[in-house]
Copies of this chain bind each other. A is one copy, B any other.
């Protein structure tokens, strides 16, 4: 009774025949382009060690917060899905966890998770039937068997996926051993890092003090002095750049920036490092550090990314028992016009700086982000992000930013994922949605098809390479 697994070649294209025909032609121009993945969260150790992945649950279910947050919302315990808690790894049988998921796969109807997973199932594992309660074991078996084969080891998949460059994200206190191991391995895959200094900038992070200590050890700087702290950043940024990094990334609760006098910032830093600081101090310090990071970017050329707006660990019980990153982050209203002004006052007109802005608050697209990016030389817009990394989300992004910021103040697609196997699925989805948007402009005679074909390639390939200096 299993339904066939269908991956229609026209998926995600508009229904209208004329528009679909244009979308098909545009898509043909980009379908086979190499993948540029300038921002994401895969584990570099996969490519350093090149050990086989284990099973469907550990590879596809337990690490995917899109999946377990939905299942949790419908009453399923995280432990039952193989998700580790603060007390340790889950005792759940991976096969049983996979069955629970399979029985509830209908909950994901209409979400991008279905589209990503079905792509992985069909293209990577060549499954022919749809996932459901009665095919759960078949899936678990087939996937497990294939993962044991050499062709499914991380490096072979990387090559098969036609990835030209893949950026991971590391903390300043990461030693980058994995990246060094990749570099010295002789393997030709290009896996680079990105500098994500939140753990040593966000004083409200539970591991801030420990991170700061390690930051000092790694750099041999007195990071409790403002000068030493800045110098430590400069040193780690240089090490990251040497390990291929072309960008920094900043995940703040708001987009606040602050351009403080050196006296003000030194006093603030003293309060922060004393541990005796207010929430407002922590916020101001994050804000001030964005200006410092911009200043360093002008020196070392690293592209800045700002990912604001997540209320992290919203579910107190879950945070207590399971820790961070368990699907309980929720977007909040995010303001950019006033928040970014101190940084823009200082560096907004620099030709040598790039600041790529993301948002979880779609109301900012047409009201704030497109007008800002359509004016300031340093600003570019990152793609639809996280909850909005979806067909409707991407469509809204283009519809609400293009008329003011154009295509060329955007940077193409980021997959932003830790789900390595889904990377081709995500890029394919983004290409299809962008081609669909372009096709509508073509059939409405707002751009010509030749222009659209150029733009399609720009969005899929040229713009991310250029914006991220890859």
A18 an interface residue at 8 Å Cβ cutoff? yes
A372: min CB distance to chain B, Å:
6
Distance in angstroms between the alpha carbons of A128 and B375 in the assembled complex: 31
Proximity string of chain A (286-327) to chain B, C-beta cutoff 8 Å, 1 when within and 0 when not: 000000000000000000000000010011111000000001
Asked if A54 is at the interface of the complex by the 8 Å CB criterion, the answer is: no
Given A314-B344, A376-B73, are A367 and B362 neighbors across the interface (CB < 8 Å)?
yes
Alpha-carbon separation in the docked complex, A407 to B106 (Å): 9
The residue of chain B having its C-beta at the shortest distance from the C-beta of A362 within the complex is B366
Interface positions of A from 381 to 405, Cβ below 8 Å from B: 387-388, 390-393, 399-400, 402-405
Say yes or no: is A338 at the interface (Cβ < 8 Å to chain B): yes
Task: Decide: A406 near B110, CB < 8 A? Known: A366-B362, A377-B74, A445-B8.
Answer: yes
B12→A15 contact, CB < 8 A: no
Residue A14, interface by CB 8 Å: yes
Contacts of A443 in B (CB 8 A): 15
Residues on B with beta carbons closer than 8 Å to the beta carbon of A107: 406, 408
Name the interface residues of A335-358: CB closer than 8 Å to any CB of B. 335, 337-338, 341, 344-345, 348-349, 351
A341 to B330, CA, bound (A): 11
Min C-beta distance of A132 to chain B, whole Å? 11
How many copies of this protein are present in the complex? 3
Chain A 48-74 against B: per-residue CB contact (8 Å), 1 yes, 0 no?
000000000000000000000110111
- The answer to whether A457 has its CB under 8 Å from any CB of chain B is no
Instruction: Identify which of A144-152, A185-193, A420-428, A448-456 touches chain B.
Output: A448-456
Which residues of B lie under 8 Å from residue A10 when comparing CB positions?
Answer: 445
Quick one: closest B residue to A455, CB to CB?
A: B109
Neighbour of A69 across the interface among B74, B110, B374, B451, CB < 8 A: B374
A440: CB under 8 A from chain B?
yes
Contact B387 A6 (CB under 8 A): no
Report yes or no: B341 in contact with A446, Cβ–Cβ below 8 A. no
CA distance A75 to B331 in the complex (A): 33
- The chain B residue sitting closest to A372, CB to CB, is B330
Cβ distance A363 to chain B, nearest Cβ, rounded Å: 5
Tell me whether B368 and A393 are in contact (CB under 8 A).
no
Contact A403 B390 (CB under 8 A): yes
Near B by CB (< 8 A), chain A positions 451-468 give 451, 454-455
Q: Give A407 Cβ to nearest chain B Cβ, in Å.
A: 6
Point out the residue from B318, B349, B370, B445 that lies within 8 Å of A387, measured CB to CB.
B370
A11 within 8 A of B: yes
* Closest CB in chain B relative to A277 CB, distance in Å: 21
A251 within 8 A of partner (CB): no
A332 is an interface residue with CB less than 8 A from chain B: yes
Report the nearest B residue to A345, measured CB to CB.
B316
The reply to whether A440 and B15 form a contact with Cβ atoms under 8 Å apart is: yes
B14 x A444 contact (CB < 8 A): yes
Give A360 to B372 CA distance when docked, in angstroms.
Answer: 13
Q: Which residues of chain B have C-beta atoms less than 8 A from A351's C-beta?
A: 75
In the assembled complex, A328 has its CB within 8 A of some CB on chain B: yes
* Closest Cβ neighbor of A327 among chain B residues: B375
Chain A 13-42 interface mask (CB, 8 Å, partner B; 1/0): 111111100000000000000000000000
**A375/B330 contact (C-beta < 8 A), A74-B409, A409-B73, A446-B110 known:** yes
Chain A residues with CB under 8 Å of chain B are 3, 6, 8, 10-19, 69-70, 72-75, 106-112, 114-115, 311, 314-318, 327-333, 335, 337-338, 341, 344-345, 348-349, 351, 360-363, 366-368, 370-377, 379, 387-388, 390-393, 399-400, 402-409, 440-441, 443-448, 450-451, 454-455
Known A114-B446, A392-B403; 10 more pairs at CB < 8 Å: A6-B448, A107-B406, A107-B408, A109-B406, A110-B455, A111-B406, A330-B375, A331-B337, A390-B403, A392-B400
